[in-house]
């Protein structure tokens, strides 16, 4: 069964889908030096706004944009949900631990937001439910907190469990279908899309909303990656000879996936097909790839096999390309080994920053835009290539029938997905 993409909602430091795509093609970057926390030195970051974003706010925005793009109206009771986030509500939890109940002041409901037609529908539908059904009626006495010094009232932390972003999206669209919330480090976005494709192909639903969103700019996240030596001091330069690490970014992308039959029946526009995917795990190291790359190679081969394609059929690779020493070397070797010389390669993290679990979702969106416009996005930030590959230095036109998006995450998570033009 063919599974097609009929709607895209995206937000990153470059902007929303169309504006971000134009800025990407022109070689712009959304990375700037910021100091979001006074106790920390300024760092290059890729913020959507002027200060760190809230996860629910980002989910609300891309969900509304995806539904509007797909020309869908609410409710969607049988729609599946597969929305992941590797960081989830970590920002809220850090604030909750340090400031208590005031942490919830910054949280907005997924049904609030901008006054577009779709978002009004989201808001009105969400408010149509009884207030009782929308609360967690558990008192302090029902759920005592062992550490009385942590000033958490009621069960506020339940609102910040990792899967609550996906649940909020389901509530907003009125879905009582399956809800999945994958977490697979930087491979989260591709895993979420893969799981949604499975939901459709197995007949559990004919339509699903899938992707990943991250609001990862928190003191703990920045301090942790800084202590690891993974963060750049100046900027993000994927596959560059003088790359210095990644730049954390926020944002995400959600997709409306449908069976091709349903999409054609309702006359929906189609960006392309999810031809196949491959998912493996190194079972080797927490934050370094397997030296031989066998599991990563297996993921790509699995993806090609399920897509009924050979490596020679791939026209463009959207690489993970984090600009770290290990990842870029590992990924370049994999590409050299599996694909034909001269295949176009790009990483867009020099423009959007590394959105962690959402990075694969952004990559899929850019692959679909490449197929739609027959244009290849540049490897923004590259000055001197560090590897003998055909990197896209400037945006260029090309025949793009099949594109591969790659993601590699901590814990040895490997993911590959093929996007193809509509049949």
Residues β-bridged to residue 391: 345
Which SS3 state, helix, strand or coil, does residue 184 take?
strand
Which SS3 state, helix, strand or coil, does residue 180 take?
strand
Catalytic residue among 79, 186, 303, 379: 186
- Encode burial over 377-404: b for 16+ CB neighbours within 10 A, e otherwise: bbbbbbeebbbebbbbeebeeeebbbbb
Q: How far apart are CA 4 and CA 257, in angstroms?
A: 6
Say whether 367 is catalytic. Answer: no
Say whether 318 is catalytic. Answer: no
Say whether 354 is catalytic. Answer: yes
One DSSP character per residue, 333-398 reads HHHHHHS-TT-EEE--HHHH-B-GGGHHHHHHHHHHHHHHHTEE---TT-SSBSSSSEE--S-EE-
Which SS3 state, helix, strand or coil, does residue 167 take?
helix
- The tokens for 238 are 């994927």
Please state whether the peptide bond connecting residue 75 to the residue before it is cis, i.e. omega within 30 degrees of 0.
yes
- The tokens for 87 are 């960081």
Q: How far apart are CA 342 and CA 159, in angstroms?
A: 49
Which SS3 state, helix, strand or coil, does residue 293 take?
coil
Catalytic residue among 79, 205, 320, 405: 320
Catalytic residue among 79, 205, 236, 354: 354
Catalytic residues, by residue number, are 186, 320, 354
């Amino acid at each position: 069964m063919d599974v097609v993409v009929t709607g895209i909602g995206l937000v990153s430091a470059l902007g929303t889908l169309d504006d971000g795509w134009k800025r990407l093609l022109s070689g712009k970057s959304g990375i700037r030096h910021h100091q979001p926390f006074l106790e920390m030195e300024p760092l290059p970051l890729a913020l959507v706004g002027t200060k760190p974003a809230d996860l629910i706010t980002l989910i609300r925005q891309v969900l509304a944009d995806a539904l509007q793009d797909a020309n869908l109206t609410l409710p969607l009771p049988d729609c599946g949900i597969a929305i992941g986030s590797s960081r989830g509500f970590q920002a809220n939890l850090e604030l909750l631990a340090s400031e208590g109940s005031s942490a919830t002041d910054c949280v907005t409901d997924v049904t609030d937001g901008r006054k577009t037609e779709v978002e009004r529908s989201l808001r009105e539908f969400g408010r149509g439910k009884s207030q009782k059904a929308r609360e967690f009626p558990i008192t302090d006495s029902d759920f005592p907190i062992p550490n009385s010094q942590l000033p958490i009232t009621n069960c506020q932390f339940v609102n910040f469990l990792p899967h609550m972003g996906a649940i909020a999206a389901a509530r907003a669209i009125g879905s009582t279908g399956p809800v999945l919330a994958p977490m697979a480090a930087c491979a989260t976005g591709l895993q979420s899309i893969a799981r949604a494709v499975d939901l459709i192909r197995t007949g559990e639903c004919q339509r699903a909303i899938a992707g990943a969103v991250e609001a990862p700019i928190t003191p703990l996240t920045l301090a942790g990656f800084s202590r690891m030596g993974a963060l750049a001091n100046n900027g993000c330069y994927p596959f560059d000879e003088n790359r210095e690490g990644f730049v954390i970014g926020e944002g995400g992308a959600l997709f409306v996936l449908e069976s091709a039959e349903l999409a054609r029946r309702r006359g929906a526009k189609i960006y392309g097909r999810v031809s196949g995917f491959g998912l493996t795990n190194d079972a080797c190291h927490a934050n370094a790839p397997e030296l031989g790359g066998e599991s990563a190679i297996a993921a790509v081969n699995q993806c090609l096999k399920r897509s009924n394609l050979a490596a020679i059929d791939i026209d463009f690779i959207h690489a993970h390309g984090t600009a770290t020493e290990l990842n870029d070397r590992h990924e370049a070797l994999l590409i050299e080994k599996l694909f034909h010389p001269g295949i176009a390669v790009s990483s867009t993290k020099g423009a959007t920053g590394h959105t962690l679990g959402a990075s694969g979702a952004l990559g899929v969106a850019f692959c679909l835009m490449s197929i739609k416009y027959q244009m290849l996005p540049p490897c923004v930030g590259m000055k001197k290539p560090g590897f003998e590959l055909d990197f896209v230095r400037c945006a260029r036109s090309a025949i793009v029938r099949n594109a591969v998006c790659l993601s590699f995450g901590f814990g040895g998570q490997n993911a590959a997905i093929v996007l193809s033009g509509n049949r």
